[in-house]
Structures are given as structure tokens and as C-alpha cells.
Amino acid sequence: MKKNYGPVYSLPLGLWITIFFIVPTCIIFIYSFLTKATYGGVQWQFSLEGYKALANTSFINVVWITVYISVISTFLTVLFAIPTAYYIARNKHKNQLLLLVIIPFWTNFLIRVYAWIAILGNNGFVNNILVKLGVIDTYIQFLYNQYAVILVIIYTYLPYAILPLYSSIEKFDFSLLEAARDLGATKAQAFFKVLLPNIKGGLATSILFTFIPALGSYVIPMLVGGKDSMMLGNIISRELTTTRNWPLASSISVVLTVITMIGVLLFLKLNKNNLESIKKLVVREKAGEESI
Amino acid sequence: MKGSEIRVENVTKRFGDFVAVENASFEIQRGEFFSLLGPSGCGKTTLLRIIAGFEDPSEGIIYLDGQNLIKILPNERPVNIIFQNYALFPHLSVFENVAFSLRLLKISESEIKRQVEKYLSLVKLDMHTKKYPSQLSGGQKQRVAIARALIGEPKVLLLDEPLSALDAKLRQHMLIELDSIHDEVGITFIYVTHDQQEALSVSDRVAIMNDGEVLQIGTPHQIYESPADSFVASFLGETNFLRGRVNQVNEEYAKIEIKELGELFVYLDKPLKINDVVKLTIRPEKIRITKQMPENLPDKFNVLHGRVDEVIYSGFQSKYFVKSGKFSFKVYKQHVNYLLDETPIKWNEDVFIWWNVDDGFIVEVEEE
Amino acid sequence: MKEKHRFSFTMFILTMIFFYLPIAVLIIFSFNEGKTMAWSGFSLKWYQKLFFESEELWKAVFNSVIIAIFSSLVSTAIGTLGAIGMYWYRFRSKKYIQVASYLPLIMPEIIMGVSLLIFFVMFKIPLSLLTIFIAHTTVSIPYVLFIVMARLEEFDYSIIEAAYDLGAKEIDTLFKVILPISMPGIISGFLMAVTLSLDDFVITFFVSGPGSSTLPLYINSMIRFGVSPIINAVSVVLIASTILLAVSTRRFYKYMFS
């Protein structure tokens, strides 16, 4: 006779995730349909105000900026990640080189952002040098614009993009490239027609790992962004803590969640993989040390 | 005899729509070495897992010495199993692996030591007690698994393809050892395998399964010499099949007319009528092959004339494929004394093949 | 093919400069005499300030460590048991739990922060170290779950069956077989949870209350006051200690499990 202990083992997990993840997520959804109270909180009265408030150009502009910044940074990140991952995968000392990619990972996230403030800030390293060299008289404002946000997003998520690309390029049989060249393909043709289709999975994953967190950016635009780089995360925080319009904060959160899920579903469709593959990659990613 | 008798009664196991075991019923005697033999996916492992308690049957009951086993949890069944992959605990040494079941019983350290040593010497592994499974060879892992399963003194030992992970030579060797361990401990062994050689060489009795059904149960000799149907015949070793129509029946023999070949006699082990369409079988090693027409044959022989299509020499024997009419016969000839044999038979030579009528028999009858 | 390598080599070097230049600048200027990012001489005074005159900062470090330890212990326990239940058994609510535990991995951090904040306010749970602990535990559970599951995937279920077969009850099987064999996974899950907890800023930012500052929160408040050499020193100490921790973990791993 068989006994099934699965439910017993999984009970604490099920309870915890339900209470502290599923319920709060549902509450946000419900709050987005309620009426705002004066000093934060809500009145339990159905209202579509939270969503009506979204139908104005400034909000749509924020959505546009969020998606725009995310797309551009993802594109540039992957552009750098492919050759870097390729070089590491083909190198004799790939484990050591991989470690070099992972170390910045281990550095505290805020410190990584701060480093760029120290370098490009108005009193930062670069301005100081330029002034000292007499190139400029007074500082140039490098930060507090979209470019700074994109730069720091790339800096933060580049390691996330390199690792999945590395693991799929490493599995690639390089004699196929030689075969393609032998059959008359140019280098570019060999790259686009042979290498790229074979590392599709890794490519899709690294796009996902850059694009999804970029969409949810909050700290980076808060610290190095300006008026032109307010992202969804920032206005959620503003509505929650400054303006104290909780239904609006909730409805914006719902919008951000929906955009994120569209991104994930697109990935699943492109990658033809199931949730399982994301799970494995996310874990392997974060547990960087295990991939070496 | 030690050990227990097992009675499997109308056991059926379904996984969704798939029927893994269909209405299996048989008895295993006390102390018997009983094999479940069949191709992969035939349900033999499922049946074993039901006996071990890892699967519940959809229908049916299993009795151990008259006691219903089904309601008993696997950890309380007096039955132990040896897994195909051995399933040794990777974090425990050889000694601790074997001691596992005793440790659960709060037995004194000295007694545990005595018992473990006894069983490790039974499987000839007393040298490696401190090693871990990852440091052992396949054969050694196998021995640890056997000692670990036997130390709890089960009434029945279940073996799930225990030799399949070993190479061919080691397999032969372990098989002999399993047989002698069986003789020594005397308990009931239920042995699951897809390898007919293993099953035939050590079992007291064999049950042949296919597609979830038990097709035939009998001693190795019985199932080899008189297979119940064409599946059993072809699964156990090589054989030749012929189809024909009965055109004469007497007390002991039937005469079968085979198109484009001629008439053959066959031993009558089933009731046949004139005009029945039958399938008959003759094993290749029962057929003799000569260049000359055999002389002074008694009546009870079938003789055919043919031409050698192919010869495969493999040391102790040669396999000939002989074309006769539109049929190709497999014929095995042992080289008892190769040089003193007649001059070797070569490709494309005319030959005669002949066999005793008693060696061919009917496996299937399609009534007209 | 040679040229291809040259191109990828250049890109690799550029990436490395990109990665390490900011870190190098931080390290160098943590030894700067002056308060600005203009070099004015070598000094250890910022380290002295960091170690002896930053009481608030060390309080935040203490909070971070406490939260990291407790949230990692709890998330490791829940995640490990969950992995065992989800990997080897089938049951009715499994699909739900599976999906529910994937979602936090892809949910933007800020949404988790906002939803937990609203949840705590709604149920009148005062924002404190406790709420941070709950938030960090929730974030870490899926990671522990999947790391331990990855470990379990290396084993065949037959070794669990072997334990039952040899007379072990469920509790014996758990403590004598399942937990010992999953130990490498459990430990890396735990370390991961510690890392996530120590590193988390966004969620902590929303669910922390007065007096419950953690190190990332403290660093954030310092950054908002602008460039400060003390942050440089903190960064260097943090980077050095994470690398040290990572290397010693790897050593420990190699020693223990191979």
C-alpha cells in the first residue's frame, strides 16, 4: 500500500506562498477597483477612478518611456553579451573568465548603481578630471537623463544576459561553423544561419532576463534618472508614498504586471519551452557560483 | 524450506487507460527461484512493484502465506527488493548501507557488526566496508544491494533486472553467485528479467509475460521445449515458423501441407482437424544440415532440400540460412569437432536439412 | 574564423573594462584623503570613520544579518520540504502550488514590495523587522525550492523506495535519507537566501518601518546625500567580503561534496 506524503511536505510552502504572495497580489488587484481615502488607504466602494486616471497622455508617456528604455537597454545588453559570451565559451580558461563575469554580480546592487554616480556625477570622477585637464570650466551633467538610466541598466543586467548565452554557446558544436564555411557561407551567413538559430534558447533567455527586470526598474531611474526617465516603478512609488492614492498605485501595478506577463508569455511562445526552463535558468543564474 | 509462498490472484494494474498488468494469477512455491520474463514494458516490473508495495493493484489480491499483503505498507512487508540501479544510499558507507534496516530496529552495535559482517561475507565483500557507493564497481554495488536486502531476513527477495547494468562476463558470474546465494539462504526469489538466458539458467520456474498478460508458466525446459504460443516460442531463443494446412491426422502425428515447400510431419500435441490452418515451429539447433541425402533414416524425419543463402561462422557454431522453396530456414550447427566434420558447408551449396518429427510442434491453430 | 575571435576578444575586453572600471574607481577613491572625487592623497581615514564612527551603519548591518539568518532558515526549511513534496509526489493542489511558486521569480520586485506593504497595512501588522523578515522569506522560498529540486533531480526515486523497503518509516526516510542526500542543495539554497536577503533593497524599502533600517536602506540614504567617501569604503568592504565569502563557500563545497 502506498501513502502519499506530498501534501504534508508541501503544506508549509503552499500556505506561505498563498498568504504572503497570492493574497497580497489579489489585494492589489481588488484595491485598483476601490475608491481612494484621504490619507492613503481605501474606502470599500467600487470605483474605476484608478483606471480612468490612467487615460491621459502623461501616463501613456510613462508607459512608452518604460517600454522604450527597456527595449533599448535590452538590445544593447544583448549586443554586448553575444560576443562576450562567445569569447568566454571558446576560451581555454572559460571557468576563470566566467568568474570574472560573476564577481560584479556578487556586488551589492546599490553599490553598482552608486559607482556610476561616483564616476559620472556632477562632482564625480570624470568631471573632476575634465576640469583638472582644463577641458571644461564647470561640470557637465552626465546623469539624470535617459542615457544614464540605460547605461546603468546595461551595467546591472549584462551579467544576467551573458550567462544563458554562454551556456548555450558552450553546447554549440563549432564544427558546424566550419562546415558552413566549407559549404561556401560567408562569415556573416555562418553566424546568422548556423550559430544564431542554434543558440536561440539562450538568446531568448538573456533577452528575458534583461527585459523583465528593466521593465520593473525603480531604483535606477530614482537614483540616476531625470524628468525624461520616469518609469512605471517610480510613479507607483510616488502614488503610494507621496500622493497616497492607493487605488491608482494599485492600478498602475496591475498595468506593470500585465506588461511583464505579456513579455514572459512572448518569451514562452518564442522559446517553445515551458515554465520549467525559466525556473531552471533563473535559479542557475542567481546561483551563479554553481554554474562554474 | 524457508521463505514464503506467494499467491497472486487476478491482479490488474491500470495507469489511466494503459493496462500494465492484466488479470495475472499464479502461485509461487516456498523457496522457489521464480522468474518473470518478458520484453520491456510487458508489466513484469509493475507486478514486482505491486508485490513490494510501491504500487497498489487496481484489482486483485496478493497473498503471502495466506495473508493479504495489499493493505500492508512497504516498510512493514517481509519482502525486500533489489533495484535495477541498486539504489544504494550515496551518503552511507558500504557498512552503513547494509546496516540500514538494523539501525532502525535499535539493535546493539555489536550485533549489528556481527550481522553486517556475516552478510558482507555471504556476498564476498568483506574487504570494502568503509568505501562509499561511488567508489564501487557495478558488481560490488550489486553485492552491497544483495547484502542490504538479505540482512533483514525477508521471506521473499524481489530482484528487478539486477544484472542489466553489468557487462556480459560479470553478468554470467553474478548469475551463478545469485544461484548459490539462493541455495544458501533458501528463501523465495522472484526475479524479473528480459533476458531469456538468465531466466532459463537459474529459475525453478518461469512466467512469460507480454503486454501485461502472463502467457505461460512452467519450468525452463517446459517453456523452451513446448512454448504455449508463437510469442513464447520466438521470445525464447531463435526459431523457424511455418504456416500450413492440415491434410492428414493420425494418433501421434499430423501431416501439414505447406505451399511451395511440400508436406511435413509434426508431433500432435494439440487436437487438430483436417483443413485447420496451423503455425508450426522448429528450433534451428534441432535441424541437421548435410551435403548428402541422409541415408537409412527412420520414418519419423522430415527432410528438405535447399541451398545455402548465407553462412555466419561464430566459433563454436555456424548459422546457416537455407533457402528451400520460398522459405528461409535458420539452421545452427555446433562444431563439436570441426576438423573431423565433413568438409565445411559453403555459401550457395546444395544441402539437405532434416529433423526429427518430434522436435517440431504446433504453436497456433486457426480453425477453418 | 580568426577575425571573428579578434572581434569577440575586443568585445570581451570592453565588457571587462565596463564591469571593473567603476569598481576600481570606488576602491581607489576609498583611500582618498579628500571628501570629493578629486585625488588629494592617500589616507585610511574613511575606513577609520566607517569602523569606529558609524554607529547607525553598524546597527543597520546588525539588522541585515539578523533578518538574513532568520529569513534564510525559514525559507530553507519551507523550500526544502516543498521541493521534496513537489518533486516526488502527485496531489491535487500541486499544480497550483507549482505555479504560485514560479510567479515570484518573474514578478517585478516593486510590485511585491507594494503588495506586501498594502497587505501589512490592511491587516494592521506594524512595519518592523518582522515584516522585512516575512518579505525576505517570501522572496527566497522559490529559489530554495528550485535549487533543492535541482539536487533531487540527481537521484532516482528508487532510493526512497529502498528506504521504505528496508523498513524505514516516513520520518526515518526524511532524516536518514532524503535530507542527507539533499544537503548540498539545501546549503546552496540557504546561501542563496542569505545573499538575496542581504542584497534586497526595493522590497525592504516598502515594508520597513521606523528603526528597522537594513544596510541597503542605509546605503540608499547615504547615496541620496550625494557622493561620500564613506560609501566608497563601505563598497570596498562589501565587495571584499562577498568575494571572500564566495571563494570560501566554493572551497567548503569542494571539500564537503567531492
Instruction: Look at phi and psi of residue A39 and say left if phi exceeds 0, alpha if psi is from -120 to 50, else beta.
Output: beta
**Residues of chain B found within 8 Å of residue C163, distances taken between Cβ atoms:** 89, 100
Say whether A109 and C20 touch across the interface (CB within 8 A): no
| Number of neighbouring beta carbons within 10 Å of residue B94 | 27
Kindly state the average pLDDT of the residues A236-253.
92
Query: Contact, B211 vs B43, CB < 8 A?
Result: yes
For strand B156-160 and strand B79-82, is the pairing parallel, antiparallel, or unpaired?
parallel
Residue C196 lies in a domain: yes
Q: For residue range B43-69, what is the model confidence (pLDDT) as tens digits? A: 999 999 999 999 999 999 999 999 999
Q: Does A3 touch chain B (CB under 8 A)?
A: yes
- Residues of chain C with C-beta less than 8 angstroms from the C-beta of A112: 22
Is C211 near chain B, with CB under 8 Å?
no
- Least confident piece of the model among B193-207, B298-312, C127-141: B298-312
From CA B31, how far away is CA B3, in angstroms rounded? 5
Split at pLDDT 50, 70, 90, the class of A292 is very low
pLDDT-derived band of residue B193, with 50, 70 and 90 as boundaries? very high
Rounded CA-CA distance A97/B56 in Å is 53
Which pLDDT tens digit goes with each residue over B98-148?
A: 999 999 998 999 999 999 999 999 998 888 899 999 999 999 999 999 999
Tens-place pLDDT, residues C174-185: 999 999 999 989
**Chain B residues near residue C159 by CB distance under 8 angstroms:** 87-90
Q: Does A1 touch chain B (CB under 8 A)?
A: yes
**Band of pLDDT at residue A88, cut at 50, 70 and 90:** very high
Question: Is position C83 within any domain?
Answer: yes
Distance from CA of B67 to the nearest CA of A (A): 14
Confidence of residue A280 (pLDDT cuts 50, 70, 90): low
pLDDT at B330: 94
Q: Look up residue B167 and give its three cell numbers.
A: 557487462
Q: Which amino acid is residue C142, in one-letter code?
A: P
Report whether pLDDT(B158) > 60.
Answer: yes
Least confident of A71-85, A143-157, A169-183, B132-146: A169-183
- For residue B211, give the C-alpha cell: 503486454
Are C91 and A4 spatial neighbours (Cβ–Cβ below 8 Å)? yes
pLDDT at residue A181 is higher than 60: yes
Using alpha carbons, select from A72, A94, A237, A256 the residue that is nearest to residue A148. Answer: A72
Q: How far is C145 from chain A (nearest CA, A)?
A: 9
pLDDT for residue C2 is more than 60? no
| Contact state of C166 with B75 under an 8 Å Cβ cutoff | yes
pLDDT at A286 over 90: no
- Summarize the confidence of residues C219-246 as an average pLDDT: 86
Contact C162 B87 (CB under 8 A): yes
What distance separates the 2 farthest-apart alpha carbons in chain A?
A: 85
CATH number of residue A206's parent domain: 1.10.3720.10
Is A23 within a domain? no
> B207-211, B291-295, B346-350: lowest mean pLDDT where?
B291-295
Number of alpha carbons in the 13 Å side-chain half-sphere of residue A207: 17
Q: Give the one of C86, C170, C201 whose C-beta lies nearest to A10's C-beta.
A: C86
Contacts of A32 (CB under 8 A, 6+ apart): A50, A51, A247, A250, A251, A253, A254
Reported residue count of chain C is 258
Residue A10 lies in a domain: no
Q: What is the mean pLDDT of chain B?
A: 91
Average pLDDT estimate for A270-292: 53
Residue B79: pLDDT above 70?
A: yes
Asked whether residue B1 carries a pLDDT value surpassing 60, the answer given is no
pLDDT in tens, C109-144: 999 999 999 999 999 999 999 999 999 999 999 999
Question: What is the average pLDDT across C62-90?
Answer: 95
pLDDT at position C100 is 94
Compute CA distances A203 → A167, A168, A285, whole Å.
Answer: 10, 8, 14
Chain B touched by A4 (CB under 8 Å) = no
Name every chain C residue with its beta carbon within 8 A of the beta carbon of A205.
none
Query: What ipTM was predicted for this assembly?
Result: 0.92
Query: Rounded to the nearest 10 degrees, what angle do helices A109-120 and A146-171 cross at?
Result: 130
In one letter, which amino acid is B199?
A
Chain A contact for C159, CB < 8 A?
no
- Asked if A2 and B55 come within 8 Å (Cβ–Cβ), the reply is yes
Task: Tell me, yes or no, whether A72 lies in a domain.
Answer: yes
HSE at residue C155, side-chain half, CA atoms within 13 A, is: 27
| Total Cβ atoms within 10 A of residue A255 | 19
Q: SS3 for chain A, per residue?
A: CCCCCHHHHHHHHHHHHHHHHHHHHHHHHHHCCEEECCCCCEEEEECCHHHHCCCCHHHHHHHHHHHHHHHHHHHHHHHHHHHHHHHHHHCCCHHHHHHHHHHHHHCCHHHHHHHHHHHHCCCCHHHHHHHHCCCCCCCCCCCCCHHHHHHHHHHHHHHHHHHHHHHHHHHCCCHHHHHHHHCCCCHHHHHHHHHHHHCHHHHHHHHHHHHHHHHCCCHHHHHHCCHHHCCHHHHHHHHHHHCCCHHHHHHHHHHHHHHHHHHHHHHHHHHCCCHHHHHHHHHHHHCHHHHC
- Do the Cβ atoms of B194 and B39 come closer than 8 Å? yes
| CA A281 – CA C143 distance, rounded (Å) | 11
Strand-pairing partners, residue A34, are A46
A121 φ, ψ (degrees, to nearest 5): -60, 170
Region C148-154 average pLDDT: 90
Residues from chain C contacting residue A233 (CB–CB below 8 Å): 108, 110
Instruction: Give the range of the structural domain holding residue A158, as residue numbers without chain letter.
Output: 36-291
For residue A20, tell me if it sits in a domain. Answer: no
CB < 8 Å to B73, chain A: 1, 3
Confidence bin at B340 (pLDDT 50/70/90)? low
CATH number at residue C221: 1.10.3720.10
Question: Which residues in B271-280 are b (16+ Cβ under 10 Å) and which e?
Answer: ebeeebebbb
Q: How many CB atoms lie within 10 A of CB A29?
A: 15
- Domain membership of residue A7 (yes or no) is no
Distance CA B258, CA B249 (A): 15
Q: What is the mean pLDDT of residues B220-248?
A: 91
Torsion of CA B93, B95, B100, B106, to 10 degrees: -130
pLDDT of residue C258: 58
pLDDT at B216: 95
Is C238 among the domain residues? yes
Instruction: Assess if residue C1 is contained within a domain.
Output: no
Q: Is the pLDDT of residue A283 over 70?
A: no
Place of cell 539533499: C182
| Cα distances (angstroms) measured from residue C229 to each of A122, A135, C25, C122 | 15, 25, 11, 41
Range of the domain at C94: 55-257
Q: Using CA atoms of B110, B116, B119, B124 in order, give the dihedral in degrees to the nearest 10.
A: -120
The number of angstroms, rounded, from the C-alpha of C46 to the middle of its chain's C-alpha atoms is 27
Q: Closest approach of chain B CAs to the CA of C70, in angstroms?
A: 28
Measured distance CA(A40)–CA(A33) in Å, rounded = 15
- How much of chain B exceeds pLDDT 70, in percent? 98
Amino acid at B306: G
Q: Are strands B6-15 and B59-64 parallel, antiparallel or unpaired?
A: antiparallel
Q: Is residue C188 part of a domain?
A: yes
Q: What whole-number percentage of chain A has pLDDT above 70?
A: 92
Can you tell me the mean pLDDT for B339-352? 80
Domains in chain C, number: 1
Average pLDDT over residues B341-345: 73
3-state SS assignment for residue B193: strand
Asked if pLDDT for residue C1 goes beyond 50, the answer is no
Interface of C with A in 59-78 (CB under 8 A): 77-78
Cα of A206 vs its chain's centroid, Å? 10
Number of domain units in chain A: 1
pLDDT at A278: 54
Query: Is there a contact between A20 and C114 if contact means CB atoms under 8 Å apart?
Result: no
The predicted pLDDT at position B2 comes to 72
Question: How many whole angstroms separate alpha carbon A213 and alpha carbon A228?
Answer: 19
Structure-block grid coordinates of residue B36: 518473470
Touching subunits of B (3+ CB pairs, under 8 Å) are A, C
Cβ of C118 within 8 Å of Cβ of A31? The answer is yes
Residues of C in contact with B75 (CB under 8 A): 164-169
pLDDT at B367 over 80: no
Q: Does C4 fall in a domain?
A: no
Q: C163 pLDDT exceeds 70?
A: yes
Residue A279 has pLDDT above 70, yes or no: no
| Residue B211 confidence (pLDDT) above 50 | yes
Which residues make Cβ contacts (< 8 Å) with residue A244, sequence separation at least 6?
A36, A39, A40
The answer to whether C38 contacts A128, with C-beta atoms less than 8 Å apart, is yes
Chain B within 8 Å of A227 (Cβ-Cβ)?
A: no
Task: Name every residue in B having a CB less than 8 A away from some CB of C.
Answer: 52-54, 73-77, 79-81, 83-85, 87-91, 100-101, 103-105, 148-149, 152
Does the pTM exceed 0.95? Answer: no
Q: What is the pLDDT of residue A290?
A: 41
Q: Is the pLDDT at A284 greater than 60, yes or no?
A: no
Q: Which three three-digit cell numbers place residue A259?
A: 506588461
Q: In chain B, what residues touch C165 (CB-CB under 8 Å)?
A: 52-53, 74-75, 77, 79-81, 149
Nearest to A257 among C109, C111, C216 (CB): C111
Q: Which of C12, C26, C220 has the CB atom closest to A84's CB atom? A: C12
The whole-number pLDDT of residue A12 equals 97
- CA angle C209/C215/C219 to nearest 5° reads 100
B15 part of contact set with chain A, CB < 8 Å: no
Q: State yes or no: pLDDT of B221 exceeds 90.
A: yes
Please state, in angstroms and rounded to a whole number, the distance separating the CA atoms of residues A83 and C11: 6
Chain A hits for C3, Cβ within 8 Å: 187
Averaged pLDDT of chain C: 90
Tell me what the mean pLDDT of segment C65-79 comes to.
Answer: 97
